[in-house]
Amino acid sequence: MLTHILGFPRMGRGRELKRALEGYWSGDISGEDLRDSARRLRLAGWSMQRAAGLDLATVGDFSLYDHMLDAAVMLGVAPPRFAAAGPEDLDGYFRMARGDSRVAPLEMTKWFDTNYHYLAPELGPGQAFAPDPGALLAQAAEARAAGFRCKIVLPGPLTFLRLAKSPASGFDCLDLLEPLGEAYAEILRRLGRVCEWVELDEPALVQDLPQDLTPRFRAVYAALIRAARPARLLLAAPFGSLVPNLPLVADLRLGGLHLDLARAPEQLDAVMSVLATDTVLSLGLVDGRNVWRVDAVAALALAERAAKVLGRQQLMLGSSCSLLHCPLDLDLETGLDPELRSWMAFALDKCRELRALADLAHGRDRSDWLEENVRAWASRRASPRTCDPEVRRRAAAVTQDMLRRTLPYAERATAQRRRLKLPLLPATTIGSFPQTDAIRDMRARRRRGEIGEEAYREFLRGCVREAVARQESLGLDVLVHGEPERNDMVEYFGERLRGFCFTRQGWVQSYGSRCVKPPVIYGDVSRPGPLTVEWTRFAQSLTPKPVKGMLTGPVTILCWSFVRDDLPRAETCAQIALALRDEVLDLERAGLGVIQIDEPALREGLPLRRAGWEEYLRWAVDCFRLAANGAAPGTQIHTHMCYCEFNEIVEWIAAMDADVISIEASRSRMELLEAFRRFAYPNEIGPGVYDIHSPRVPAREEMADLLRRAAAVIPAQRLWANPDCGLKTRDWAEAMASLANLVAAARQVRGELGGAAGTGS
C-alpha cells in the first residue's frame, strides 16, 4: 500500500513563507529571494513527508498565494484587465491576487466548507486556454533531483469550472468542459513523463451536479487517462461522499480513485462495487480537516474491509483531504496540557499515522503505536473534562421564546431611530482596525513577561482612544473600539470560554500570507465571566456617537475552531450561543445601543449537498437567534458576513432577524443584489463597498456608484455604507484614505437621495 497525502501545509514551521511574502510586498526582499524561500520550503516539506514515512512526495500543492490562482495562470486565463501574470512575473501574479491602484483583484471566496479562501478564475464564452505547466515541471524536477518519488497534484477540470466566475450574465462555465479538457490533456501529456502519479482533485464530485454531465465528464476523463500515460491518473474526491455521483466514475479506467473515508466512511462498499478492476482505491483514512488522532481501530477495519474485496495490492492509504487545513507539527506544542495533547495529531503526525496504519495493514509489528492510540482514545472518551452537566442542563432548557425578539423589526426600528438618531445611509466599519507593529510588539512583550498587566492595559486604552478619535475625525456615524486587545476574532473568545484549549504554533493558512490559529474545542462550552464589556464600555465613554459592541457569532466560533468530534456540532453551537447570549445582555446593561454578532462562517458551514441544507440552516440560524434575541427592542443588533455565496440562502439570512446585516459585495460588484431583486429583504443592509483584502484605495466615485446600485434595489432608508470586512490586515494610511472616501461617498449619495432622515422601514 503506497502512502501519500493530498497536500501539505505551505507556510513552514516558523511561517517563513508569510514573512517572505510580506517582505517582497513591502520591498524588503527581491523576487529571487522570494523564489529561494519557496524552494527551501518545498524541499523541507518533502523531506518532512519522507521522514514521516510517506512513499510519495506531493508536488504542486505549494503556492505563493493560492492553488486555484496557480491553475488559472497555468491555463493562461488571466482576465484582460491584467496585462500579464505568471510565476515568472511575480508582480502580475500578485496583482491578480491583491489588485492595485488601477485594477481590482480576482474575487475571493471560501474553498468548499473550509475556512481557506481561494481566488475564483474569471471565464467567459469562447474562452481560450493557453496551457503551460512549466512551473509544475520545475517543481517536479526539484523533487526528482532531491531523490523523491513524486506525485503531482492540481485542481481537476470539473472543480476548476464549478468554482470559476463569469462576468457574462447567464454564462455557465461548465460549457467549457470539453475545451478545458483538451488544455488539461496537453498538460498531462507533459506531466505524465516526469512522475509516477498525477492527481486531479475533484471535490466538486461530492456536490450536486447537473444530470446531463455524466457522458461529458466520462469522455473528458477517458481522454485525460490516456494523456497522462505512462503516469497513472489519480482522481480524488475529498470533503464528502461520492455515492450520489457514482455514474460519473463507475468502471472508469482510472489509475486510482481517492475517497474521503474520514468524512464519509459509509461510501466504501458502494464505490468498491463499481470500481474498474485495475483501478487502485486510495483510502482517505486520516482526517485532514481536524486535529484529532485517527481512530486506528476504526481505520484498520475499513482498510481490512477494502482489502478483502480488492486485495492489498489494489489499495493506497492517504489523508482524507489536503493537510493544508491542519497545523504543521504537534511537537512544537510543548505548553499544551499533556492529556489534551495526547488526543491530537497535526499534519506531520497524520503522515506518521498513515505509515503506521499501512504497516499494520501489512502485518508488520506496530503494536506499541496501536496500543498507545487505543489508550488515548479511551482517555478521551472517559475524561470528565469533556462534559459539564450544568451546561447540558441549560442547553436542554432552551425554549422557542428565547429565539425571538419581543417586537418585530418595524417596531424595533422605530425605537432604535429614536435612540441612535442616525442619518440616512449611516457610515460605519465592520469592527477591527489595523493591528500595528506596536500592538503586536506589546502583545509579545506581555507574553514574555517584559511588561506588567496594567502597563499593557494602559497601552490598549491608548489604542482605543486613537481609534475613536480617528473615526470621529473621519465623520463615521457608528464607531467601533478597534479591537486592539484581540489577536483573532475567534481565538480571543475561545481564550475566555471554558471547553477550549490553545496552541502556540498551530497556524493554518486562510489566504495569501494570512494565517489563523484556530482554538480547539474539546469539551462543553460556557462563559465564566464578561468577554468584551470593559473595552466597548471604555470606547463609548470617549464619544457621544454610538459604539458597537463586537462579538463573534456562535456558528463562526464553531466553524473556525477545531471542533470536538464526539458531540453533534449543533449541540456545541448551542452551548456557544448561550454563552454569547449572556455577553449580549451584559453589553446592553453597560449602556451599549448597538451590538454586532459576526457570522461570516454561516454559509461555509452548509453541507456540500442541498439535501442537508435545511437541517443545518435551521439549527445554525436558531443558534444566532439564541445568542442575539435576549436584547431589548431599542438595542440594534448587527451581523456581518463576507466572502461566501449567500444568494441561495438569503431567506435564511432574513430569518436571522438581525436589525442590520453587513455583507461582502465589492469584489463581486454587487452580485448579491440579484438576490434582493427576487427577495424583499425586510431589514437593513450594508453591502460592502470596498475590498479590504486589497491594498488599493478605492475612489469616492467608485464607492458612490456601488451605493447607487444598492439603492436601486434596497430602500435607501434601510441602506448602510461600510467596508466589506474588518481592517486589521491593513495599515492606517490605507484605512484612513479608504474610509475618508467611503464617508464622502455616503454623504454624496445621501445628498442625491435627498435626506438626513433616520434609518427606518
| Active-site annotation, residues | 693
| Exposure string over 522-540, b if 16+ CB within 10 A, otherwise e | bbbbbbeeebbbebbbbbb
Three cell numbers, residue 44: 523541507
12: closest CA among 43, 34, 35? 43
Three cell numbers, residue 106: 480576482
DSSP 8-class letter at 578? H
Q: Which alpha helices (H) appear in 427-565, and where do they start and end?
A: 437-447, 453-474, 491-494, 533-540, 554-559
- Cβ atoms of residues 18 and 11 within 8 Å: yes
513: closest CA among 25, 154, 41, 129? 25
Q: Which alpha helices (H) appear in 229-346, and where do they start and end?
A: 246-249, 268-272, 296-310, 338-341
**Angle at alpha carbon of residue 465, lines to 463 and 471, rounded to 5°:** 100
Q: Using only C-alpha atoms, what is the Rg of the chain?
A: 26
DSSP 8-class letter at 403? G
CA dihedral 507, 509, 514, 519 (to 10 degrees): -40
Three cell numbers, residue 324: 493544508
Three cell numbers, residue 135: 512551473
Give phi and psi for 72, each to the nearest 5. -60, -40
Contacts of 60 (CB under 8 A, 6+ apart): 67, 136, 139, 140, 152, 153, 154
Rounded to 5, what percent of the chain is helix, strand, coil? 45, 15, 40
655: closest CA among 686, 634, 628, 674? 628
153: closest CA among 256, 226, 247? 256
Whole-angstrom CA distances from 476 to 287, 320, 389 are: 46, 47, 46
25: closest CA among 723, 696, 715? 696
DSSP 8-class letter at 730? S
- Cβ atoms of residues 255 and 196 within 8 Å: no
Residue 339's region, left for phi above 0, alpha for psi from -120 to 50, else beta, is alpha
